[in-house]
Amino acid sequence: MKKQWRTKELKTAIPDLAEYSPLILRLLALRGITEAEAIRDFLDPDYAKLHDPFLFQDMQKAVERIERAIAQKEIIAIYADYDADAVTACAVAYLALKKLGAQVIYYIPDRFSEGYGMSAEGIKQLHAQNAKVIITVDCGINARAEALICRELGIDLIITDHHEVIGDLPEAFAVINPKNPADNYPFLYLTGVGVAYKLVQGLFSRITNYELRITDGWEKWLLDLVAIGTVADLQSLTGENRILVNFGLKVLPKTRWPGLAALIKTAGIEGQKFDTFTLGFILAPPINAAGRIKHADVAFKLLISDDKAEAEQLAKEVIDLNRQRQILTDQVLSEARAQAELNLDKKVLLVSGTDWPKGVVGLVAGKLMEEHNRPVLVVSVDAAGAATGSARSIAEFDIVAGLGYSQEHLEKYGGHTQAAGFSTSHERLENLHQKLLEYAESLSLTLSDPVLHIDAEVSPSDVSWPTLELIEKLAPFGMGNPKPKLSGRDLEILEYRTVGNANQHLKLKAKFGDHRLGAIAFNQGFLANQLILGTKFDAVFELTANEWNGRKDMEFKIIDMRIINQKL
């Protein structure tokens, strides 16, 4: 889909700080960072500036209840979801509680037979194992009926979650969620694993209450797991998330977890420089794949394993599951794309298929949303007519609000403003779609070509190693802090060829002023037949360093390009 290029407008003045270049000051100002102290905090994150976990109003009572359970040797159960955020959250809570001497069990539901969230059956299984406390991670905030079951069974329920609150809060022993409207926690965008880590922080801040020899700051060894879950869940990498991921990346090369070390080794990235790409595209997908294809229990056991041989076997298994997930995703995407292309007159797309693997419908929804720049719902329908779906949306359309508007046609729903899950029945899908289209009209939602937001237009003199080094200081990159997209005019092609298994990528050498730089344009190999040597073009790109065989070269990662005087 053709993209509109739009250079971002500054909402505040660029500060006059001589120690930083004008380009870097502009990039910071675009992120709302203009004060000298805020700039220093952003460029050099400080772990000590994480918020006090006891700012959560229920943190004190949650910590005290867990302390009492440990002291009285009561069984504590962790109840998790099955994605990478939840599995890492479950591992963080489990490893921390074990370190504190707790008797811990866990429960992760089966995506296919149980679906998302707490269930009466899951609670009863934990009760049968004599659990006295249940701690949810990445789920539970809308489990009102399940909270009542816990109360009836004499189980104290501590909810840690980060999803949107829909309706009244559950009647739980404690609720820890930055989106709890009754709370005033200063950072709203913690992930499930981030909230679990805040609980761990609260527990370890009172370490003197336990007769254990634990090194001060031991909980920081959990930050590599926190970083993986945070990046995987696509939450804003600003505020506390930026600090957690920054320090998680520092811990990762020294990880204490045999399972994570085995995953790094099996993925073939030992000794490499780790960044958010490593977290989000190499380590998180196999963890996610376990729950999508088999059972998230496989990934959880990997992360908590203390046996090297077991860890290596589990690492190979999750990577193999991820390969299967990739094949299934491509198959479903092909079918879903064909349906979607018949309905491009609709502002909201809904596609469905019989027995599409439930574990990949969210991935397919995300891909179609990117392709068509509108809300997309992808639904798997089983033989009995039960329909389970995932939705992904654009910034202008709050999908949870849309599902709330359409809830008469749903059995259950929940999630975030741009990503949600739901269940219904096959016969209600058409009415659900019509209701969502009605909601889109009520918002006066308009469809247009996607906008490619450009941070700054640069001249050849801006392209330098010092500039790249300063840009890298803005890392870790991700949601809320994307890698800066720069634009340059009047580049000239010196060399070009297609690369990739299907010749889908375009490899270039380009002249930009006095620079002669390599460039890669992913998924733009189709442009090759429009090029000749000497072709002039404008480009939107990321400035990167390519390291290979001890050689380090600066290059452009081209996001989009326009051939001058030629309509593409």
Give the burial class of 408: count Cβ atoms within 10 A of its Cβ; 0-12 exposed, 13-18 middle, 19 or more buried: exposed
How many CB atoms lie under 10 A from the CB of residue 418?
A: 20
Please tell me the predicted confidence (pLDDT) of residue 564.
83
Residue 272: its pLDDT value, please? 86
pLDDT at position 568: 39
Q: Can you tell me the distance from the alpha carbon of 238 to that of 480, in angstroms, rounded to the nearest whole number?
A: 6
Looking at residue 167, its pLDDT comes to 85
Find tokens 């991700």 and name the residue.
478
How many other C-beta atoms lie within 10 A of the C-beta of residue 185?
A: 21
Name the residue among 360, 351, 415 with its Cα closest to residue 164: 415
Residue 552: the pLDDT is 82
Residue 51 reports pLDDT greater than 50: yes
Instruction: Report yes or no: 538 and 490 within 8 Å, Cβ to Cβ.
Output: yes
- The answer to whether the CB of 375 falls within 8 A of the CB of 436 is yes
How high does pLDDT run on average in the chain? 91
Phi, psi dihedrals of residue 238, rounded to the nearest 5°: -125, 175
Min mean pLDDT across 19-23, 434-438, 530-534, 564-568 is at: 564-568
Q: What pLDDT is recorded for position 567?
A: 45
Contact (CB, 8 A) for 517 and 555: yes
- What is the pLDDT confidence band of residue 208, given thresholds at 50, 70 and 90? low
Q: How far apart are CA 162 and CA 81, in angstroms?
A: 12
Per-residue pLDDT tens digits for 162-203: 998 888 899 999 999 999 988 889 999 999 999 999 999 999
d(CA 376, CA 199): 35
Q: What is the pLDDT of residue 156?
A: 97
The pLDDT tens digits of the residues spanning 333-360 come to 999 999 999 999 999 999 999 989 888 8
Domains along the chain with CATH numbers: 49-320 (3.90.1640.30), 341-442 (3.10.310.30), 454-563 (2.40.50.460)
The per-residue pLDDT for range 211-237, each reduced to its tens digit, is: 566 778 899 999 999 999 999 998 889
CA distance 436 to 351: 13
Q: pLDDT at position 503, please? A: 86
